[in-house]
Amino acid sequence: MTPSDARHTPPYQDQPAPDQPAPDQPAPEQPAPEGPGQRPRAEAAPRNVLLVALAVGAVVALAAVLLFPLLPHRSPAPAVEFEGDEALVADVSAALDPGRVQGLAVARFPNDAPEQVEWVTAGTADGTAPITTTTPFETGSVFKVFTAMTLADMVAAGETSLDRTVGEIFPDTEFADPAIAGATLEDLATHHAGFVTQMEEGPLGALRRNAWGDSYRQAVPPLEFAATAQAAVPGSFMYSNAGYALLGEALAEESGTPYPELVRERVLDPLRLDATVISDAGVPEGGAGPYTEPGSRVQEWRNTDYAAAGVATWGTPEDLVRFMAAVAEGEAPGMAALDPVHETVEFEVPQAEPEGLGIGLGWRLLDVPGVGQVTWHSGGSFGTRTMIATDGEQSVVVMANSLGVEAPALAFQLLGDDPQRIPGSPVPVKLLVSYFTVLVPAALLLALVLRRRTLLTRRPLDRLRIVSLTLGALAWNLLGLRHGDWVGAPAFVWALGLGLVAAAVTVGAWHWRRVPVEAGRFRWLHVTVFVLSLLFSLGLGTLMAWGLTVAWS
Protein backbone atom coordinates (compact mmCIF):
# COMPACT_ATOMS: atom_id res chain seq x y z
CA MET A 1 0.00 0.00 0.00
CA THR A 2 1.40 3.32 -0.97
CA PRO A 3 1.20 6.34 1.28
CA SER A 4 -1.43 7.82 -1.01
CA ASP A 5 -3.53 4.64 -0.77
CA ALA A 6 -3.34 4.84 3.01
CA ARG A 7 -4.73 8.33 2.98
CA HIS A 8 -7.89 7.11 1.16
CA THR A 9 -8.45 3.87 3.10
CA PRO A 10 -11.53 4.10 5.44
CA PRO A 11 -10.87 3.35 9.10
CA TYR A 12 -11.80 -0.05 10.55
CA GLN A 13 -15.45 -0.22 11.61
CA ASP A 14 -14.58 -0.99 15.25
CA GLN A 15 -12.34 2.06 15.66
CA PRO A 16 -14.23 5.33 15.49
CA ALA A 17 -12.72 8.38 13.94
CA PRO A 18 -11.11 10.79 16.42
CA ASP A 19 -13.94 13.36 16.10
CA GLN A 20 -16.85 10.89 16.13
CA PRO A 21 -18.45 9.35 19.24
CA ALA A 22 -18.28 5.63 19.79
CA PRO A 23 -21.45 3.83 18.67
CA ASP A 24 -22.45 2.99 22.26
CA GLN A 25 -21.72 6.49 23.73
CA PRO A 26 -24.13 9.48 23.62
CA ALA A 27 -23.02 12.45 21.60
CA PRO A 28 -21.65 15.24 23.77
CA GLU A 29 -23.92 18.25 24.34
CA GLN A 30 -23.08 20.91 21.82
CA PRO A 31 -22.79 24.41 23.28
CA ALA A 32 -25.27 26.93 22.03
CA PRO A 33 -23.87 29.34 19.45
CA GLU A 34 -22.40 32.39 21.11
CA GLY A 35 -22.77 35.94 19.95
CA PRO A 36 -19.94 38.44 19.87
CA GLY A 37 -18.44 38.91 23.33
CA GLN A 38 -20.56 36.13 24.87
CA ARG A 39 -19.11 33.34 26.96
CA PRO A 40 -19.98 29.65 26.87
CA ARG A 41 -23.04 28.68 28.83
CA ALA A 42 -22.50 27.11 32.26
CA GLU A 43 -23.09 23.40 32.72
CA ALA A 44 -26.72 22.47 33.38
CA ALA A 45 -27.56 21.27 36.89
CA PRO A 46 -28.10 17.49 37.00
CA ARG A 47 -31.45 15.97 37.72
CA ASN A 48 -30.68 15.08 41.33
CA VAL A 49 -29.82 18.72 42.10
CA LEU A 50 -33.14 19.81 40.60
CA LEU A 51 -35.00 17.28 42.73
CA VAL A 52 -33.23 18.53 45.87
CA ALA A 53 -34.09 22.12 44.89
CA LEU A 54 -37.74 21.14 44.42
CA ALA A 55 -37.79 19.51 47.85
CA VAL A 56 -36.17 22.53 49.52
CA GLY A 57 -38.61 24.88 47.84
CA ALA A 58 -41.56 22.76 48.96
CA VAL A 59 -40.35 22.70 52.58
CA VAL A 60 -39.82 26.47 52.63
CA ALA A 61 -43.24 27.08 51.05
CA LEU A 62 -44.91 24.85 53.63
CA ALA A 63 -43.12 26.66 56.46
CA ALA A 64 -44.28 30.00 54.98
CA VAL A 65 -47.90 28.81 54.91
CA LEU A 66 -47.65 27.84 58.59
CA LEU A 67 -45.97 31.17 59.48
CA PHE A 68 -48.39 33.38 57.57
CA PRO A 69 -51.16 33.54 60.22
CA LEU A 70 -48.61 35.00 62.66
CA LEU A 71 -47.76 37.94 60.38
CA PRO A 72 -49.31 41.40 60.95
CA HIS A 73 -51.46 41.33 57.83
CA ARG A 74 -54.64 39.74 59.03
CA SER A 75 -56.46 40.91 62.09
CA PRO A 76 -57.27 38.14 64.55
CA ALA A 77 -60.55 39.92 65.28
CA PRO A 78 -63.74 38.40 63.83
CA ALA A 79 -65.46 39.82 60.77
CA VAL A 80 -66.46 43.46 61.29
CA GLU A 81 -70.08 44.15 62.15
CA PHE A 82 -71.69 47.56 62.48
CA GLU A 83 -73.32 48.00 65.86
CA GLY A 84 -75.36 50.84 67.34
CA ASP A 85 -78.51 52.77 66.54
CA GLU A 86 -80.62 50.94 64.01
CA ALA A 87 -81.20 53.78 61.53
CA LEU A 88 -77.53 54.77 61.40
CA VAL A 89 -76.42 51.12 61.21
CA ALA A 90 -78.65 50.72 58.14
CA ASP A 91 -77.21 53.84 56.48
CA VAL A 92 -73.58 52.96 57.23
CA SER A 93 -74.17 49.39 56.00
CA ALA A 94 -75.65 50.73 52.77
CA ALA A 95 -72.69 53.04 52.13
CA LEU A 96 -69.61 51.23 53.43
CA ASP A 97 -68.06 47.84 52.72
CA PRO A 98 -67.20 46.38 56.17
CA GLY A 99 -64.20 44.64 54.61
CA ARG A 100 -62.44 48.01 54.49
CA VAL A 101 -62.79 48.58 58.23
CA GLN A 102 -60.19 47.96 60.91
CA GLY A 103 -61.94 50.16 63.46
CA LEU A 104 -64.73 52.72 62.99
CA ALA A 105 -66.82 55.16 65.00
CA VAL A 106 -69.61 57.21 63.40
CA ALA A 107 -71.97 59.75 64.98
CA ARG A 108 -74.88 61.72 63.57
CA PHE A 109 -77.20 64.18 65.27
CA PRO A 110 -79.76 66.88 64.39
CA ASN A 111 -78.35 70.37 64.87
CA ASP A 112 -81.41 71.55 66.78
CA ALA A 113 -81.13 68.61 69.22
CA PRO A 114 -77.42 67.73 69.48
CA GLU A 115 -78.05 65.56 72.52
CA GLN A 116 -79.92 63.06 70.31
CA VAL A 117 -76.78 61.43 68.96
CA GLU A 118 -76.94 58.24 66.89
CA TRP A 119 -73.83 56.07 67.17
CA VAL A 120 -72.25 53.25 65.17
CA THR A 121 -69.04 51.47 66.13
CA ALA A 122 -67.26 48.58 64.46
CA GLY A 123 -64.00 46.66 64.49
CA THR A 124 -61.03 47.01 66.79
CA ALA A 125 -58.38 49.51 67.77
CA ASP A 126 -55.52 47.01 67.64
CA GLY A 127 -56.92 43.64 66.55
CA THR A 128 -58.43 42.86 69.95
CA ALA A 129 -59.78 45.95 71.77
CA PRO A 130 -63.22 46.88 70.41
CA ILE A 131 -63.85 50.44 69.25
CA THR A 132 -65.93 52.58 71.60
CA THR A 133 -67.10 56.20 71.56
CA THR A 134 -64.13 57.08 73.78
CA THR A 135 -61.41 55.36 71.71
CA PRO A 136 -58.64 57.85 70.79
CA PHE A 137 -57.94 58.17 67.03
CA GLU A 138 -55.49 60.36 65.17
CA THR A 139 -57.45 63.45 64.17
CA GLY A 140 -55.30 64.23 61.17
CA SER A 141 -56.14 67.50 59.45
CA VAL A 142 -59.43 67.89 61.32
CA PHE A 143 -57.18 69.60 63.87
CA LYS A 144 -56.66 72.42 61.35
CA VAL A 145 -60.09 73.80 62.24
CA PHE A 146 -58.94 74.19 65.85
CA THR A 147 -55.96 76.19 64.57
CA ALA A 148 -58.18 78.29 62.31
CA MET A 149 -60.70 78.95 65.08
CA THR A 150 -57.85 79.97 67.40
CA LEU A 151 -56.87 82.50 64.73
CA ALA A 152 -60.45 83.75 64.42
CA ASP A 153 -60.74 84.04 68.20
CA MET A 154 -57.52 86.04 68.43
CA VAL A 155 -58.66 88.34 65.60
CA ALA A 156 -61.98 88.91 67.36
CA ALA A 157 -60.07 89.82 70.53
CA GLY A 158 -57.87 92.30 68.62
CA GLU A 159 -54.70 90.30 69.34
CA THR A 160 -53.76 89.98 65.68
CA SER A 161 -55.25 90.60 62.24
CA LEU A 162 -55.77 88.54 59.13
CA ASP A 163 -53.55 90.82 57.06
CA ARG A 164 -50.50 90.45 59.30
CA THR A 165 -47.67 89.02 57.23
CA VAL A 166 -45.17 86.29 58.00
CA GLY A 167 -42.34 88.79 57.61
CA GLU A 168 -43.93 91.17 60.13
CA ILE A 169 -44.41 88.41 62.68
CA PHE A 170 -40.89 87.01 62.26
CA PRO A 171 -38.78 90.14 61.56
CA ASP A 172 -35.52 88.43 62.51
CA THR A 173 -35.92 85.65 59.96
CA GLU A 174 -34.48 86.06 56.48
CA PHE A 175 -36.83 84.51 53.94
CA ALA A 176 -35.39 83.32 50.65
CA ASP A 177 -38.63 84.17 48.82
CA PRO A 178 -40.31 87.59 49.37
CA ALA A 179 -43.65 85.94 48.52
CA ILE A 180 -43.34 83.76 51.63
CA ALA A 181 -42.47 86.75 53.79
CA GLY A 182 -45.44 88.62 52.32
CA ALA A 183 -47.97 85.84 52.95
CA THR A 184 -50.68 86.89 55.40
CA LEU A 185 -52.29 84.90 58.19
CA GLU A 186 -55.42 84.71 56.03
CA ASP A 187 -53.33 83.31 53.17
CA LEU A 188 -51.96 80.61 55.48
CA ALA A 189 -55.38 79.78 56.91
CA THR A 190 -56.95 79.46 53.44
CA HIS A 191 -54.01 77.67 51.76
CA HIS A 192 -53.27 80.62 49.48
CA ALA A 193 -49.66 81.30 50.54
CA GLY A 194 -48.12 79.12 47.81
CA PHE A 195 -46.58 76.59 50.21
CA VAL A 196 -46.01 73.05 49.15
CA THR A 197 -46.69 70.31 51.69
CA GLN A 198 -43.36 69.44 53.24
CA MET A 199 -42.34 65.85 53.64
CA GLU A 200 -39.15 64.03 52.79
CA GLU A 201 -38.76 64.09 49.03
CA GLY A 202 -37.05 61.84 46.49
CA PRO A 203 -36.96 58.05 46.09
CA LEU A 204 -35.38 57.50 49.51
CA GLY A 205 -37.99 59.68 51.18
CA ALA A 206 -40.78 57.78 49.44
CA LEU A 207 -39.29 54.47 50.56
CA ARG A 208 -39.00 55.66 54.14
CA ARG A 209 -42.57 56.96 54.20
CA ASN A 210 -43.90 53.75 52.76
CA ALA A 211 -41.82 51.61 55.10
CA TRP A 212 -43.20 52.91 58.37
CA GLY A 213 -45.92 55.41 57.42
CA ASP A 214 -44.70 58.51 59.33
CA SER A 215 -44.52 61.07 56.53
CA TYR A 216 -43.21 63.83 58.82
CA ARG A 217 -40.55 61.85 60.64
CA GLN A 218 -37.72 63.79 58.98
CA ALA A 219 -39.52 67.11 58.37
CA VAL A 220 -37.65 70.21 59.54
CA PRO A 221 -39.39 72.78 61.79
CA PRO A 222 -41.90 74.89 59.85
CA LEU A 223 -40.21 78.27 60.26
CA GLU A 224 -36.89 76.81 59.18
CA PHE A 225 -38.63 75.28 56.16
CA ALA A 226 -40.40 78.56 55.33
CA ALA A 227 -37.12 80.50 55.44
CA THR A 228 -35.69 78.44 52.57
CA ALA A 229 -38.89 77.59 50.66
CA GLN A 230 -39.99 79.07 47.35
CA ALA A 231 -43.66 79.90 46.88
CA ALA A 232 -45.17 77.81 44.11
CA VAL A 233 -48.39 79.66 43.23
CA PRO A 234 -49.00 82.45 45.77
CA GLY A 235 -52.58 83.70 45.64
CA SER A 236 -53.91 80.40 44.31
CA PHE A 237 -55.17 77.48 46.39
CA MET A 238 -52.50 74.92 47.26
CA TYR A 239 -53.24 72.69 50.22
CA SER A 240 -50.28 72.74 52.60
CA ASN A 241 -49.58 71.17 55.96
CA ALA A 242 -46.37 73.21 56.12
CA GLY A 243 -48.42 76.39 55.73
CA TYR A 244 -50.70 75.43 58.60
CA ALA A 245 -47.79 74.45 60.81
CA LEU A 246 -46.30 77.89 60.13
CA LEU A 247 -49.68 79.45 60.98
CA GLY A 248 -49.60 77.73 64.38
CA GLU A 249 -46.08 79.01 64.98
CA ALA A 250 -47.13 82.54 63.94
CA LEU A 251 -50.08 82.51 66.36
CA ALA A 252 -47.77 81.34 69.13
CA GLU A 253 -45.43 84.22 68.32
CA GLU A 254 -48.28 86.74 68.27
CA SER A 255 -49.69 85.56 71.59
CA GLY A 256 -46.45 84.76 73.38
CA THR A 257 -47.86 81.32 74.21
CA PRO A 258 -46.59 77.99 72.77
CA TYR A 259 -49.04 76.59 70.26
CA PRO A 260 -50.13 73.50 72.26
CA GLU A 261 -51.00 75.70 75.25
CA LEU A 262 -52.60 78.33 73.02
CA VAL A 263 -55.02 75.99 71.21
CA ARG A 264 -55.98 74.38 74.52
CA GLU A 265 -56.63 77.73 76.13
CA ARG A 266 -58.66 79.13 73.21
CA VAL A 267 -60.63 76.13 71.91
CA LEU A 268 -60.10 72.80 73.65
CA ASP A 269 -60.64 73.75 77.29
CA PRO A 270 -63.66 76.02 76.74
CA LEU A 271 -65.42 73.11 74.99
CA ARG A 272 -64.20 70.48 77.49
CA LEU A 273 -62.32 68.53 74.81
CA ASP A 274 -60.16 66.90 77.46
CA ALA A 275 -59.30 63.80 75.39
CA THR A 276 -58.08 65.87 72.42
CA VAL A 277 -54.31 66.11 72.79
CA ILE A 278 -51.02 66.82 71.06
CA SER A 279 -48.51 64.09 71.82
CA ASP A 280 -45.25 62.71 70.46
CA ALA A 281 -45.59 59.58 72.60
CA GLY A 282 -47.40 57.53 69.96
CA VAL A 283 -50.73 55.77 70.34
CA PRO A 284 -52.45 56.73 73.62
CA GLU A 285 -53.57 53.98 75.96
CA GLY A 286 -56.50 52.20 74.35
CA GLY A 287 -56.00 54.19 71.15
CA ALA A 288 -56.66 53.09 67.58
CA GLY A 289 -53.32 52.87 65.82
CA PRO A 290 -53.25 53.48 62.04
CA TYR A 291 -53.62 50.64 59.51
CA THR A 292 -53.20 50.74 55.74
CA GLU A 293 -55.75 47.93 55.53
CA PRO A 294 -57.42 45.76 58.14
CA GLY A 295 -54.64 44.00 60.01
CA SER A 296 -51.73 45.89 58.36
CA ARG A 297 -50.32 48.31 60.94
CA VAL A 298 -48.15 51.35 60.23
CA GLN A 299 -46.51 53.90 62.48
CA GLU A 300 -48.50 56.87 63.74
CA TRP A 301 -47.29 60.43 63.07
CA ARG A 302 -45.25 61.95 65.94
CA ASN A 303 -43.70 65.23 64.80
CA THR A 304 -45.38 67.80 67.08
CA ASP A 305 -43.74 70.66 65.16
CA TYR A 306 -46.61 70.09 62.72
CA ALA A 307 -49.39 69.76 65.32
CA ALA A 308 -51.19 72.87 64.04
CA ALA A 309 -51.66 71.00 60.76
CA GLY A 310 -52.93 67.84 62.46
CA VAL A 311 -49.75 65.84 62.95
CA ALA A 312 -49.33 64.01 66.29
CA THR A 313 -52.86 65.00 67.34
CA TRP A 314 -55.40 62.65 68.92
CA GLY A 315 -59.05 62.89 69.85
CA THR A 316 -62.07 60.73 70.59
CA PRO A 317 -65.41 60.48 68.76
CA GLU A 318 -67.15 61.88 71.83
CA ASP A 319 -64.87 64.93 71.83
CA LEU A 320 -65.55 65.64 68.15
CA VAL A 321 -69.29 65.25 68.71
CA ARG A 322 -69.07 67.74 71.61
CA PHE A 323 -67.15 70.10 69.35
CA MET A 324 -69.62 69.79 66.46
CA ALA A 325 -72.54 70.31 68.85
CA ALA A 326 -70.97 73.61 69.94
CA VAL A 327 -70.49 74.55 66.28
CA ALA A 328 -74.13 73.64 65.50
CA GLU A 329 -75.30 75.84 68.37
CA GLY A 330 -72.95 78.68 67.36
CA GLU A 331 -71.18 78.56 70.73
CA ALA A 332 -67.70 77.42 69.71
CA PRO A 333 -64.84 79.95 70.02
CA GLY A 334 -63.83 81.50 66.70
CA MET A 335 -67.11 80.81 64.87
CA ALA A 336 -66.11 83.43 62.29
CA ALA A 337 -63.76 80.80 60.85
CA LEU A 338 -66.80 79.16 59.21
CA ASP A 339 -67.62 82.29 57.16
CA PRO A 340 -66.60 82.03 53.49
CA VAL A 341 -63.37 83.76 52.52
CA HIS A 342 -63.22 82.31 48.99
CA GLU A 343 -66.62 81.24 47.63
CA THR A 344 -64.86 79.11 45.02
CA VAL A 345 -61.13 78.51 45.04
CA GLU A 346 -59.01 78.57 41.90
CA PHE A 347 -56.40 75.95 41.08
CA GLU A 348 -53.36 76.83 39.02
CA VAL A 349 -51.82 73.47 39.90
CA PRO A 350 -54.06 70.37 39.55
CA GLN A 351 -54.95 68.90 42.94
CA ALA A 352 -57.13 66.14 44.30
CA GLU A 353 -59.86 68.55 45.37
CA PRO A 354 -63.59 68.59 44.53
CA GLU A 355 -64.89 71.04 41.95
CA GLY A 356 -66.75 74.01 43.34
CA LEU A 357 -64.80 73.97 46.59
CA GLY A 358 -65.06 77.08 48.75
CA ILE A 359 -63.11 77.83 51.89
CA GLY A 360 -63.36 79.82 55.10
CA LEU A 361 -60.59 79.94 57.66
CA GLY A 362 -59.69 76.28 57.53
CA TRP A 363 -63.25 75.06 57.04
CA ARG A 364 -64.24 73.83 53.58
CA LEU A 365 -67.50 74.65 51.84
CA LEU A 366 -69.06 72.44 49.19
CA ASP A 367 -72.43 72.07 47.48
CA VAL A 368 -72.98 68.30 47.74
CA PRO A 369 -75.56 66.79 45.35
CA GLY A 370 -78.60 65.51 47.23
CA VAL A 371 -77.53 67.26 50.41
CA GLY A 372 -76.90 70.96 49.79
CA GLN A 373 -74.23 73.25 51.21
CA VAL A 374 -71.93 71.36 53.57
CA THR A 375 -69.31 72.88 55.87
CA TRP A 376 -66.64 70.31 56.62
CA HIS A 377 -63.07 69.23 57.06
CA SER A 378 -61.49 65.83 56.63
CA GLY A 379 -58.28 64.43 58.01
CA GLY A 380 -55.96 61.53 57.47
CA SER A 381 -52.56 60.07 58.11
CA PHE A 382 -51.05 57.06 56.35
CA GLY A 383 -53.54 54.84 58.15
CA THR A 384 -56.30 57.05 59.60
CA ARG A 385 -59.37 58.73 58.15
CA THR A 386 -61.49 61.34 59.95
CA MET A 387 -64.29 63.73 59.00
CA ILE A 388 -66.50 66.38 60.57
CA ALA A 389 -69.36 67.89 58.57
CA THR A 390 -72.61 69.80 58.93
CA ASP A 391 -75.25 70.80 56.38
CA GLY A 392 -76.99 73.17 58.80
CA GLU A 393 -79.60 70.58 59.76
CA GLN A 394 -77.49 67.57 60.68
CA SER A 395 -73.89 66.99 61.71
CA VAL A 396 -71.73 63.92 61.20
CA VAL A 397 -68.47 62.70 62.73
CA VAL A 398 -66.45 59.83 61.23
CA MET A 399 -63.27 58.37 62.74
CA ALA A 400 -61.56 55.30 61.26
CA ASN A 401 -58.13 53.73 61.56
CA SER A 402 -57.76 52.22 58.08
CA LEU A 403 -57.10 53.82 54.70
CA GLY A 404 -59.94 52.01 53.00
CA VAL A 405 -62.63 54.06 54.76
CA GLU A 406 -63.35 57.09 52.58
CA ALA A 407 -64.46 59.32 55.44
CA PRO A 408 -65.60 62.36 53.38
CA ALA A 409 -67.65 60.20 51.00
CA LEU A 410 -69.19 58.34 53.95
CA ALA A 411 -70.10 61.56 55.76
CA PHE A 412 -71.71 63.04 52.64
CA GLN A 413 -73.74 59.86 52.14
CA LEU A 414 -74.92 59.92 55.77
CA LEU A 415 -76.12 63.51 55.41
CA GLY A 416 -78.31 62.47 52.47
CA ASP A 417 -81.66 60.70 52.50
CA ASP A 418 -80.68 57.61 50.53
CA PRO A 419 -77.07 56.47 51.18
CA GLN A 420 -75.47 54.56 48.32
CA ARG A 421 -72.52 52.17 48.31
CA ILE A 422 -69.21 54.02 48.08
CA PRO A 423 -67.35 52.49 45.11
CA GLY A 424 -63.98 50.89 45.66
CA SER A 425 -60.89 51.31 43.54
CA PRO A 426 -61.51 49.92 40.02
CA VAL A 427 -57.96 48.53 39.98
CA PRO A 428 -56.94 46.40 42.97
CA VAL A 429 -53.49 47.99 43.18
CA LYS A 430 -52.47 46.41 46.47
CA LEU A 431 -53.55 42.99 45.21
CA LEU A 432 -51.39 43.45 42.11
CA VAL A 433 -48.50 44.48 44.37
CA SER A 434 -48.91 41.21 46.26
CA TYR A 435 -48.66 39.06 43.14
CA PHE A 436 -46.08 41.05 41.21
CA THR A 437 -43.47 41.78 43.88
CA VAL A 438 -43.59 38.30 45.39
CA LEU A 439 -43.72 36.14 42.25
CA VAL A 440 -42.00 38.00 39.39
CA PRO A 441 -38.53 38.59 40.97
CA ALA A 442 -38.52 35.02 42.31
CA ALA A 443 -39.39 33.67 38.85
CA LEU A 444 -36.61 35.74 37.24
CA LEU A 445 -34.11 34.35 39.74
CA LEU A 446 -35.21 30.78 39.08
CA ALA A 447 -35.04 31.33 35.31
CA LEU A 448 -31.47 32.60 35.70
CA VAL A 449 -30.14 29.47 37.47
CA LEU A 450 -32.09 27.03 35.26
CA ARG A 451 -31.35 28.63 31.87
CA ARG A 452 -27.87 29.79 32.96
CA ARG A 453 -28.60 33.13 31.36
CA THR A 454 -30.63 36.18 32.31
CA LEU A 455 -34.12 36.01 30.87
CA LEU A 456 -34.23 39.38 29.15
CA THR A 457 -30.66 40.37 28.30
CA ARG A 458 -29.38 36.78 27.87
CA ARG A 459 -26.21 37.45 29.82
CA PRO A 460 -24.41 34.35 31.19
CA LEU A 461 -24.69 33.10 34.75
CA ASP A 462 -22.04 34.28 37.20
CA ARG A 463 -21.69 34.72 40.94
CA LEU A 464 -22.51 38.43 40.89
CA ARG A 465 -25.84 37.71 39.20
CA ILE A 466 -26.66 34.92 41.63
CA VAL A 467 -26.09 37.28 44.58
CA SER A 468 -27.84 40.34 43.15
CA LEU A 469 -30.95 38.55 41.90
CA THR A 470 -31.27 36.56 45.14
CA LEU A 471 -31.10 39.67 47.32
CA GLY A 472 -33.40 41.49 44.93
CA ALA A 473 -35.99 38.73 45.04
CA LEU A 474 -35.94 38.72 48.86
CA ALA A 475 -36.17 42.52 49.08
CA TRP A 476 -39.12 42.67 46.68
CA ASN A 477 -40.72 39.82 48.61
CA LEU A 478 -40.52 41.95 51.76
CA LEU A 479 -41.99 44.90 49.86
CA GLY A 480 -44.90 42.74 48.76
CA LEU A 481 -45.34 41.43 52.28
CA ARG A 482 -45.35 44.97 53.67
CA HIS A 483 -47.58 46.66 51.13
CA GLY A 484 -49.51 43.92 49.39
CA ASP A 485 -53.15 43.02 49.97
CA TRP A 486 -52.84 39.97 52.21
CA VAL A 487 -56.51 40.10 53.01
CA GLY A 488 -57.40 39.66 49.34
CA ALA A 489 -54.44 37.54 48.22
CA PRO A 490 -54.26 33.92 49.39
CA ALA A 491 -51.39 32.93 51.67
CA PHE A 492 -49.98 30.43 49.16
CA VAL A 493 -48.92 33.33 46.87
CA TRP A 494 -46.35 34.51 49.41
CA ALA A 495 -45.42 30.90 50.21
CA LEU A 496 -44.92 30.14 46.50
CA GLY A 497 -42.66 33.18 46.11
CA LEU A 498 -40.44 32.10 48.99
CA GLY A 499 -40.44 28.51 47.72
CA LEU A 500 -39.25 29.65 44.28
CA VAL A 501 -36.45 31.70 45.87
CA ALA A 502 -35.37 28.74 48.03
CA ALA A 503 -35.33 26.39 45.03
CA ALA A 504 -33.37 28.91 42.96
CA VAL A 505 -30.82 29.42 45.75
CA THR A 506 -30.31 25.65 45.96
CA VAL A 507 -29.56 25.41 42.25
CA GLY A 508 -27.43 28.55 42.44
CA ALA A 509 -25.37 26.98 45.25
CA TRP A 510 -24.59 24.01 42.98
CA HIS A 511 -23.50 26.39 40.21
CA TRP A 512 -21.41 28.55 42.56
CA ARG A 513 -18.07 26.77 42.13
CA ARG A 514 -18.67 26.13 38.43
CA VAL A 515 -19.23 29.68 37.20
CA PRO A 516 -16.95 32.71 37.13
CA VAL A 517 -17.23 35.55 39.60
CA GLU A 518 -18.00 38.00 36.83
CA ALA A 519 -19.09 37.34 33.24
CA GLY A 520 -20.30 40.69 32.00
CA ARG A 521 -19.73 42.03 28.52
CA PHE A 522 -18.19 45.15 30.06
CA ARG A 523 -16.65 44.32 33.41
CA TRP A 524 -16.71 47.87 34.81
CA LEU A 525 -20.39 48.29 33.94
CA HIS A 526 -21.37 44.90 35.34
CA VAL A 527 -19.60 45.55 38.66
CA THR A 528 -21.12 49.04 38.91
CA VAL A 529 -24.64 47.73 38.29
CA PHE A 530 -24.02 44.94 40.80
CA VAL A 531 -23.00 47.40 43.53
CA LEU A 532 -26.00 49.66 42.86
CA SER A 533 -28.33 46.67 42.81
CA LEU A 534 -26.85 45.40 46.06
CA LEU A 535 -27.29 48.77 47.80
CA PHE A 536 -30.86 49.12 46.53
CA SER A 537 -31.86 45.63 47.64
CA LEU A 538 -30.29 46.00 51.07
CA GLY A 539 -31.89 49.42 51.55
CA LEU A 540 -35.32 48.30 50.36
CA GLY A 541 -35.20 45.10 52.40
CA THR A 542 -34.09 46.92 55.54
CA LEU A 543 -36.85 49.53 55.24
CA MET A 544 -39.52 46.94 54.62
CA ALA A 545 -38.28 44.81 57.52
CA TRP A 546 -38.43 47.89 59.75
CA GLY A 547 -41.96 48.58 58.56
CA LEU A 548 -42.98 45.03 59.41
CA THR A 549 -41.43 45.45 62.84
CA VAL A 550 -43.55 48.56 63.35
CA ALA A 551 -46.61 46.61 62.25
CA TRP A 552 -45.87 43.87 64.77
CA SER A 553 -45.32 46.31 67.64
- State residue 9's pLDDT score: 41
Q: How confident is the model at residue 11 (pLDDT cuts 50, 70, 90)?
A: very low
Overall average pLDDT of the 36-49 stretch:
74
Overall average pLDDT of the 77-89 stretch:
87
| Interatomic CA distance for residues 435 and 494, integer angstroms | 8
**Average of per-residue pLDDT values in the chain:** 87
CA distances in angstroms from 319 to 66, 130, 161, 316, 327, listed in the order given: 43, 18, 29, 5, 12
Lowest mean pLDDT among 28-37, 62-71, 312-321, 380-389: 28-37
Overall average pLDDT of the 108-114 stretch:
97
- State residue 352's pLDDT score: 76
- State residue 211's pLDDT score: 55
- Predicted TM-score of the model (pTM): 0.77
Overall average pLDDT of the 120-134 stretch:
94
Helix (H) or strand (E) holding 5: helix 3-8
Lowest mean pLDDT among 99-108, 149-158, 212-221, 301-310: 212-221
Q: How confident is the model at residue 514 (pLDDT cuts 50, 70, 90)?
A: very high
What residues contact 115, with CB distance under 8 A and at least 6 apart?
109, 325
- State residue 204's pLDDT score: 53
Residues 423-468: pLDDT tens digits?
875 556 777 888 899 999 999 999 999 999 888 888 899 999 999 9
- State residue 36's pLDDT score: 45
Given a cut of 80, whether residue 41 has pLDDT beyond it is no
Please count the other Cβ atoms lying within 10 Å of the Cβ belonging to residue 280: 13
Which amino acid belongs to residue 319? Answer: D
Residues 354-407: pLDDT tens digits?
889 999 999 999 999 999 999 999 999 888 999 999 999 999 999 999 988 999
Sheet containing strand 313-315, edge to edge, reads 137-138, 313-315, 277-278
- State residue 210's pLDDT score: 54
Whole-number percent of the chain with pLDDT over 90 = 65
Whole-number percent of the chain with pLDDT over 70 = 86
- State residue 39's pLDDT score: 57
Domain spanning 83-415: CATH 1.10.10.10 = no
Residues 250-261: pLDDT tens digits?
999 999 999 999
Which amino acid belongs to residue 307? Answer: A
Q: How confident is the model at residue 77 (pLDDT cuts 50, 70, 90)?
A: very low
What residues contact 277, with CB distance under 8 A and at least 6 apart?
284, 313, 314, 315
- How many separate helices (H) and strands (E) can be counted in the chain? 17, 13
Residues 188-205: pLDDT tens digits?
999 999 887 655 444 555
Domain ranges (residues) in the chain: 47-70+428-552, 83-415
| Interatomic CA distance for residues 491 and 256, integer angstroms | 56
- State residue 553's pLDDT score: 57
Lowest mean pLDDT among 209-218, 306-315, 376-385, 401-410: 209-218
Given a cut of 70, whether residue 531 has pLDDT beyond it is yes
- State residue 454's pLDDT score: 86
